[in-house]
Structure formats: C-alpha cells, structure tokens
Amino acid sequence: MAERFIVQLGDPILREKSKPVKIINQHVYKLLDDMVDTIYAAPGRAGLSAIQVGIPKQLVVMDCGSGLIELINPVILEKEGEEEGTEACLSIPGVVGLVKRAQYVKVGTLDRAGEEKIIEAEGFLARCIQHEVDHLHGILYIDYVNELYSNRSGKKLKPADAAPILAQRIPIIR
C-alpha cells in the first residue's frame, strides 16, 4: 500500500467523468488500499474519489467519522430534505464553501466482493457521499458556491483572493 498524489484544482482530469469499474480485481484492491492510505495521511480528510488521484474510475473511499466506507460504482437512488453545510476538498486546499445538499441519501454500490449493497445515510455522511459522487461526474463543490472562506480563520475570502478559484466553476443548475 502507498499514498498517492492528490490532483489539484486546475488539472483537467478533475472535470472528467469517471468510468464504471467492470471487473473488481487485484488492481482495484490495490487502488482502494492506496486511496485509504492517502486519506488517512491527509489532514482534515473525509473522503477521496479515484479521479482525485488521477484515475477516472468510479471508486470512493471515505471515513466521515463512523469508520471506513468504500464505494464501487455508487449511484444515488434517493435524496430527501436539504441542509446547508461547510465543505472542503483535498483537491482545493485552504478554502471551504457553504453548499446545500440533501439531508438524506440512499446509495446503491458494490463492495470489494462485487456484492450489491444499499447504504442509507443522513447528515454529514450523506454530505460526504454526495460530494464524492459529484467528483465521479466531474463536479466540484465550488460549482455550487458564490463565496469561499479561509479554512483556517473561517473568514470570507476577499474577491481578489477567491476569483482564481471561482473562475474555475461550472455553475450547477438545480
């Protein structure tokens, strides 16, 4: 197992749509293991999609406080409610934004054995899942925001400081 380099904002791969995993084999296990090592080594981490390590496959690892979760080819089946919360991203260090997300999600996914699983999540875990599934479709949390805040101080960034990041948004119409 090994840590992987995390792709940063500006790299066009972050805007690619990830492809489904067709065969779950040793290569997939190795990538998942490396992704796990990578999130646990990163400060302030919650989740990581394969696209963030430069691999456009539908793989996600996350630990949002209740233990490790791995998602292979995740699909959000249901969403309910709405709440606004702070989000950050390992690919966009130093800033956070307020994003409206569903409060509850139901997700279909595969596990390492290729077995279909259903995960129901609410609150922060639901937010993490939606954030990572967005990555698989080339969507970043900054696409939902108009303002950014310093990750350290919590203060709103000055327009001149936020502009280079916000200029890379692809606004999402809900």
Q: Which residues are annotated as a binding site?
A: 89, 131, 135
**Distance in angstroms (rounded) separating the CA atoms of residues 70 and 44:** 18
**Amino acid, single-letter form, for residue 57:** K
The tokens describing 77, both together, are 């089946």
β-sheet with 116-122: strand ranges across? 47-49, 59-63, 68-80, 104-110, 116-122
**Distance in angstroms (rounded) separating the CA atoms of residues 97 and 62:** 19
Is 132 annotated in the active site? yes
> Pick the catalytic residue: 16, 78, 84, 132?
132
Annotated binding site for Fe cation: 89, 131, 135
| Percentage helix, strand, coil for the chain under 3-state DSSP, each rounded to 5 | 30, 35, 40
Return the active site residues.
132
